[in-house]
Amino acid sequence: MRDWPRLSFIILLPALIGLSGCATPPDADGDVTGGSDSVMSQSESASDGLCECPENPQVDEFNAALQALAQGDFEAAAAALSRHAELGGDRNRSEARAGRELADLLARYPADGATIASSPGSDRAALIQLVLILVDRLESNIATLGAENAQLAADLEKREEALKRLRELTLGQPEA
């Protein structure tokens, strides 16, 4: 149970990246743009096989939740995840549950506002940055707790040694 945050990150990050939806295909220069020249009609994209994303409101609710998480709006994310789960299916409920767990972790270990504002690019990049900050903080907490544990273990060993000497002095004979 001690490695739960790290394990959840390993499971949630690929799932969030994979489920975050289709992007606009890159133009000839390799850049993704939103200009009207590079926007393809749905029939063109389907025939090219570049993006065959269905017009599905379930994906929209999940993406809305991810965008809200990236912006630090946990209440809006929770509402979108609830709507996503209500749309039915085990997959939706599983995605919503994973999203809620991520939202809870991000709320418990919030990033400062400057970190969120300084994340250039898309909401997906911002969300990944937030998850990486979360992992860094959790690893830092683990290291701090490990150091405290080592110090407490050393103190306990000293106290046990002192009690052993005290028993020897009190009873007048060495303890077995």
pLDDT in the model for residue 124 = 80
pLDDT in the model for residue 151 = 97
- List, for residues 126-147, the tens digit of each pLDDT value: 888 888 988 998 999 999 999 9
Cβ-contact 93, 85 below 8 angstroms? yes
Does the structure show a pLDDT above 70 at 28?
no
Question: What's the whole-number mean pLDDT along residues 77-104?
Answer: 90
DSSP class per residue in 48-113:
HTS------HHHHHHHHHHHHHHTT-HHHHHHHHHHHHHT-SHHHHHHHHHHHHHHHHHHHSPPPH
pLDDT in the model for residue 122 = 77
Question: What's the whole-number mean pLDDT along residues 48-74?
Answer: 71
pLDDT in the model for residue 38 = 42
pLDDT in the model for residue 154 = 97
Cβ-contact 62, 102 below 8 angstroms? no
Q: What is the dihedral of CA 46, 47, 49, 50, to 10 degrees?
A: -70
Question: What's the whole-number mean pLDDT along residues 43-66?
Answer: 61
Q: What percent of the chain has pLDDT over 90?
A: 26
pTM as predicted: 0.53
pLDDT in the model for residue 98 = 92
- List, for residues 149-171, the tens digit of each pLDDT value: 999 999 999 999 999 999 989 88
Q: What is the average pLDDT score of the chain?
A: 74
- List, for residues 117-131, the tens digit of each pLDDT value: 555 567 788 888 888
Q: What percent of the chain has pLDDT over 70?
A: 59
Does the structure show a pLDDT above 80 at 97?
yes
